[in-house]
Structures are given as structure tokens and as C-alpha cells.
Chains A and B, each alone.
Chain A
Amino acid sequence: MNKLSSLLRGWRLSEYVVIAVEVCGSIALGIGIATLLLYTLGFDPGKGITLLLGGGFTDLDYLLSRATFIMMTGLAFSIPLMAGLFNIGGEGQMYLGGLVSLLTAIYTGNLFLALIAGGIAGLTLGLFIAVLRVYRGVNEVISSIMLNWTLYYLTIYLVTNTFYDPLAPHESIKVPQSARLGLISIGDFKLHIIFPISLVFILLAYFVLYHTKIGFEIRASGLAPKAAKYAGLNPERAMIYAMCLGGFFGGIAGSLNVLGFTYYIDTLLTTMYGMGFDGIGVALMGRGHPIGIVFSSVFFSMLIIGGQSMQMVLNAPKEVADALSGIIIMALALPYVYRMALSYLRARRMIAHGDH
């Protein structure tokens, strides 16, 4: 018995080794294909790959700050997904969170209030989408996508017409000093404090999901609604909880952006645009787990910044940079495909030989 259990433990370990090999292998494969693409397009592949993977590390603070926002929008997608909902509305929740934080900061000058107000705004939006879904049967994908546009234009309208800065009309009024999240310095290294704060939110999400009844209800309902119902849980209530949580973190993404990085919203939303959608990729790559999302958000951020520096240095079009990031991310998904194919083939073989 003892022997058996130690054998099993050994097998477990080797499973992790296999996963590590798979990940390294697929990254290598991704880089290989990317190199080939760069070569055929006539760019220097060595330089291109170095820039793509290394460009982000020239400014570590920027890398981590950028990761902060998509880490939060990653949560905004992954938590509802656990309950079986596709929250495509991280984008809108982020705009609203940023806007509400900005306004609260302007009117109260209170940092804490501004931050929480942004989160609550996102939460309310999430609640709205969930209520529509649960009680009215409105598909959450549709409603959240439409709300994205509504909030996009609403934010632009308010920033352009009402809250613009008279000295720089393409920007909003700045967040007052009293409500700003600043930088911390570790020796010579300066870091926007929003990154450590986002890690606190990650821990909060982890705690709620894995250590509270609400989290249990969300996870159980998403994995097996019937079983959850049998257990006396309420899958519909779980959807509402999950969307509230997701919306909260979506809102926080905007708040951190406005209160801790840009200190204003520009009239085209360039500092936020698209980050809600990046969060979807981050969430999926991080396997939906808060800790996984920390790593995947930094990785994503690395590819985005690397792509930008490649554009600048090599004069490569944006599309090439995006294609290269896409190739590397897809390569990372390969082990899944490989495993699925393997188990399918195994099942087929069993049928072929399966006579007793």
C-alpha cells in the first residue's frame, strides 16, 4: 500500500514535469513560427523576437502597471465564467469605474472613496446585466456588449463636453493630488503602487472564490448546475453574485487606471480602450484562476509592449506585431489540443480492441 502511494506520488511529480516540458516546447514552437514569419516578411528575425519578448522589460514599472489593468479585467471575465456567464462587458465596467472614480475624486478629493465608488459602479453594472439575464432571459453577451458602447460614448461625451480640462481640452480635469495613488520606490526602482494594490485584490478574489460560501456556490453552479441545485444551492443567485464580483473588478480596473496611472481620462479613451477585451485572453490563459491571472496578465502585457517596441524599432506594421503575439499565445494552447487528441485516440483504440 505504501509502495503504491509513493508510486502514485511519483507519477504526480512526473506529470508536472510533463506540463513544464509541454509549456517550454510550445513556447519554442511559437517562437519558431514567429521567426519564420518575420523572415518571410523581410524583417530581422533575431531583432524582432528579442524586441517582442524583451521589449517589455526595459521599463519594468510600465510592464507591471499595464499588467495591473488587464489583471483586473481578467478577473472581471473569469469570475462570471466560473458561474457559466460570458461577461464581455469588462470594457464598459472599466470605463464606468474610471469615470465614477474620476468624478468622485474631483468632487470629494478622497482617494479611498473614489476607489470604492469605481468598484461599486462596476458592480452595479454587473448586477444590472445579471438581473436582465436571470429574470428576463436577456443574453449577457448581448447586453454587456451593447453597454460597452453605451458607456464608451457616454464617457467620451462627458469628458469632451463637461469635464474637460480648459488647459488641455483633449483631457479631462485631473484627479486632485489628495486622491492620487502614487509611486513607491524600492532603492532606485520606482513602481506605481497600483500593482501591489491589484495583488491585494487578487488575494481578495481568491479568498472569496475559494474560502467563502458565495465562492463555493459560484464554482459549484458553473461546473454542474444540476448538482448545485441538488445540493440546495441556487445557480441563479450564483450568477448574480458572480456578475457583481466581476463587475466590481472591472470597475476597479478603470479606477486604478485613472487614480493611479493617468490621473485623467482622455477624450478618445486611448489609455483604457481594449483592455477589457484583453482581460478575456488573460483570464483564459490564466485558466480562470486568480493566481494564474497574475502571471498571464504580466505575460500579455509583455507581448503588448514588446509588440509596440517592435513597431517602433523595426518599423513593422502593428498587424505583424499582433500576429506574432497571437502565434505565441496560440502555441501555448497547443498542449490542450494535443491532450484532447490523445484521449480521443485512446478511446478509439479501446473500441477497436474492446472485446472480452
Chain B
Amino acid sequence: MSELAVEMRNVWKVYPDGTIALRGVDFSVRKGEIHGLLGENGAGKTTLMRILYGEIRPSRGEIRVFGRKVSFRGPWDAVKNGIGMVYQHFSLIPSFTVLENLYLSLTSIKKGISIDYVRKLANEIMSKVGFEVPLDAKVEGLAIGVQQRVEILKTLMRNAKILILDEPTSVLTPIEVEELFKTLIRLKRLGITIIFISHKLKEVKRITDRVTVLRKGRVVGVVDTREVNEADLAKMMVGREVFLRLKKAPISPKEPILVVEDLWVKDDRGLDAVRGISLTLKKGEILGIAGIQGNGQRELAEAIAGLRPVIRGRILLENEDITNLPPYLRYRKGLSYIPDSRSVGLILDLNVISNSILTKLRDFVGKGTTILWSKAREFAGSLTRRFNVVVESLNTPVKYLSGGNQQKLMVGREVAVLPKVIVASEPTHGLDVSATEYIRSLLIKLREMGVAILLISSDLDEILQLSDRIAVIYEGKIMAIGKPQDFTLEKLGLLMGGVKVE
């Protein structure tokens, strides 16, 4: 057995709010290998790597780097020990040149170096690794792939022996991915150890030597990449215990109510996030959108709700074009949107009453523009009773409610006045079992009342339990659409990882 570059033993991480991100993870990387770290959202990949990079401290556990026990107080300690990390979002100053950026990052660990020295060192390393970066170009003018190379160069100049890449291909074009892989292989030949975080099966299979698979904060397997295929990896990544079946009456929906035609939407960075999605949602059905977070789900939901401009395509609600309507008019026409984050769906500093009327404000405005607080209070009271929201008083700011109660309030508000279409994003995210069951059965009840639900979730259990049809989204496109029985877990996992199945 070859020498270990990284050895993490029984690592736990509990966040101050009580979330357990890691539950005793053992993780080891051999010197000079490319090691894949695979897992769904929330599996703990990023947390584990942030611990290794000294950004956050483990609650418990031991870390060894090149056999030496370490305890990092911050990334600077990790850098001193030869660890470098390249984030998904780069930490470069756009208006500086490449050289200035390199100089900046180097001065923080080596005092009193000259810019000529930095140039010499950069050229030396570039010729050794065999890639080119224009040192005197401004960063903002460079392609994303080149910027990433600058980040890699930066870590190498700081003498990194272990390179952590967090979802490095998520921002790249296919050609840039090829370039990156070439670079990685050359780095490996130079003896540099690489940790490759990803959820893309194909890439993990292609580039890594070994893979550690995480699921819900635990290691579910460490394998030699040669000995497994993509399907095995998918199974490990999503595989799970038998899930509960909720009773669901069969339906045969016909009448389309929400139609999305060739929709294109950009994300906050201005990149295409939704790339030509077409969907038809019928009355009384639940259409599940399965996918790993960050594949355009949020942008799709926000475009339907009217919170994000549509670049191309149309959205029809009951045959009426609503593509350019402001959100509140869509809500009035019977569209309801449950956002994926409670900090968007609720104003945490305001009380239960204010939050109960948040999206229905116009129904609670009387003469002039006065708010009818007594009517609002009544409505809030009936909401909390109907949806079992436990509150001490209706005047309590919702930030003092538990996550489950917040969620019930938010979901309750959106479904209280029976909508025609609900777009529900991660409706049970971060909830305990009972709250989860409650919301899921509520969605099924609504479906039986003829409400059409677009369920966007990265939780496969949820998708499989609730959906009448499933669409898998990957990089802003629908990979496949069909009935739940058409998909096996393995097939879903492959599709979510971007692998086309027959």
C-alpha cells in the first residue's frame, strides 16, 4: 500500500443550529492519486473538504497530512502544509491582471517578494505543468476555463502538494473540461495528489483512480474506479433503504393547465441555467422534477413564478400567456409558488400574522391602503389551526418558530386559498420525519382535489413517493420524462449524473 497523503479519521461536524453534516467520516487519499469524492447535495462533500482546508473546524476527529497530525486554525495553516483548494466560484480580482492576482496571493505567505520573481516562478511552473496563461491579461477578459487555470497556478505557486477541486467542471464547457483533464493528468505525473469533488458520474469514472462515496454524512463506499461502472456508482450515491409508500389514488389527468414551451432562463451570473425546457403539467397530477441541485431547478421555478426574466420561450397558464406578468398577477390567476428557501418564502423578522398575508397582501387591504389587521389576524389564526403550526402567539416573529413550523406556515399560506397550480421547490427540505410526512400527504390531498403540482426536489424518495410523472433535469435540460415505474433508482441516478440511458 502506498503512502497516504491525507488521512481523516472519524470526522464529525455539527453546525451550531444542530445540523449534523458529517457522522464519523473516514477518508484517506493516497499520495499521487486522483481521488474522487462523490455524493448528492447535502452528503457532506464540501463540508469535509472545507475541514481539510482549515476553513471550518471539525467537531471531532483526527486529520493527518503526509502522516503528520495536524489541526488547522485557518486556510493559511492548510496552505503551509501543502494543501490548495480551487473553489467553484473563483477568488480572483477581475480588474487585476493575472500576474497581479498571483502576486497578491503570494505576498500573503511570502513577504517582500518582487513582481519579477512572481513572473519567473509562474513561467517556471507553467512550463513544468505544460499549460499557458497570459500573465499580463486582465482576469475579467479571460474565459472561465483559463481563470480556473489561474486558480490552479496560484495553488501550485504556493507549493501545493494536495489539490482540492470543488465541482471544477460545473462551470466549464465540454472543451474546457477536456483541457482541465489533460492538466490534471499532467499534475498527477508530477506527483501531485488531487481530490476531485463531483456528482457527475461520467467524469468521476474517467478521471479518478479511486472514489469515496458519501451519503448523508457517512461514507458508503471506497472503491477503485477501474473495478466499478457508472451504474455501480449511481447506486451507491442514491441507493437507500426501502421508502415508505403513501396511499395515492390512481388518476388519469388529461386537461393541461400549465404549459412551458422552450424556456430559456439565465442564472444570477448571466449563464444559461434553463436551456430549452418544455413541460406540460396536467390538472390533478404531480410532475416531479428530479435532479441534483444547481441544474436549473431554481431558475425554472422562479421563471414560472415571474421572479426571473425569461430569455426565450413561453409560459401558459390555462391557455393564457403569462410569460411577462408580474408575480402578484400570476398569484391572482391561481399560481402558487413555494420557494426552496424559507428565508425567501418568509420574512423571518416579521410576525406570524404578517407572514400569513405576505403573498396575499392585496386581499387584506381596505379603504385607502390600510391593512386590515383584524382580518389578517383571523386568517393567520385559521392557518395555524388548519395546518398545525405550533406558535406561542401570532405576534411571535417567525424566526423563533422551528423549521418544520415555518415550513408548514409557508406551505399552508400557499395552499390555503385553493390554487390551480403549485410550484413546490424542495417542500420538505431540512424537515424532520413527521413534518415531512405531513407536507407530503398534504400535497397528495391537494392533488386529489384537482390541483396540479410541479414538484421540484433533489430528494429522490420524495420524487418517487409523490410523482405521477417524473422528469429528470440535468444542466438545464430535461434528460428524460416518464412514469415512476419506467425508472429504476439506478437509472435515475445515471440520468441525474448526466449519463444518457438508451
Binding site for B on A (CB under 8 A): 5, 8, 211-214, 216, 219-220, 223-224, 226-233, 347-348, 350-352, 354-356
Contacts and interface: CB of A to CB of B under 8 A. Distances in A.
B307 interface: yes
Contacts of B371: 211-213, 216
A216 B305 contact: no
Given A214-B369, A231-B358, A224 B347 contact: yes
Give 8 closest A-B pairs by Cβ, nearest first.
Answer: A232-B328, A354-B14, A347-B16, A213-B369, A232-B327, A231-B358, A212-B369, A224-B347
Interface string B305-336: 10100000000000000000011100100000
Contact of A230 (B339, B365, B369, B370): B339
Nearest to B24: A355
Interface of B: 12, 14-16, 18, 20, 57, 59-60, 305, 307, 326-328, 331, 337, 339, 343-350, 354, 358-359, 361-362, 365, 368-371, 373, 392
A8 B392 contact: yes
A354 B21 CA distance: 11
Given A214-B369, A224-B349, 4 more contacts: A220-B347, A223-B349, A350-B16, A355-B12
B343 A224 contact: yes
A231 B350 CA distance: 14
Nearest to B326: A232
A228 B14 contact: no
Contacts of B12: 354-355
A211 B14 contact: no
Contacts of A214: 369
B326 A211 contact: no
A313 B483 CA distance: 88
Contact of A227 (B16, B344, B361, B368): B344
A226 B339 CA distance: 11
B349 A213 contact: no
A180 to B, nearest CB: 32
Given A230-B345, A232-B331, A347-B16, A211 B373 contact: yes
Given A232-B326, A233-B361, A350-B14, A216 B354 contact: yes
Nearest to A8: B392
B307 A351 contact: no
A227 B59 contact: no
Nearest to A232: B328
A27 to B, nearest CB: 27
Contact of B370 (A212, A347, A351, A354): A212
Nearest to A4: B392
A82 B337 CA distance: 26
Contacts of A227: 343-347, 358
B109 to A, nearest CB: 28
B421 to A, nearest CB: 16
Given A351-B14, A355-B12, A356-B20, A230 B344 contact: yes
Contacts of B359: 230-232
Contacts of A5: 392
Nearest to B56: A351
Contacts of B354: 216, 220
A219 B350 contact: yes
A355 B14 contact: yes
A228 to B, nearest CB: 7
Contacts of B358: 220, 227, 231
A213 B373 CA distance: 11
Given A213-B365, A227-B358, A355 B345 contact: no
Nearest to B348: A224
A311 B359 CA distance: 56
A211 B307 CA distance: 27
22 contacts: A211-B371, A212-B369, A212-B371, A213-B362, A216-B354, A220-B350, A224-B343, A227-B345, A227-B346, A228-B347, A229-B327, A230-B339, A230-B345, A232-B326, A232-B327, A232-B361, A348-B16, A350-B14, A351-B16, A355-B12, A355-B59, A356-B20
Contacts of A216: 354, 361, 371
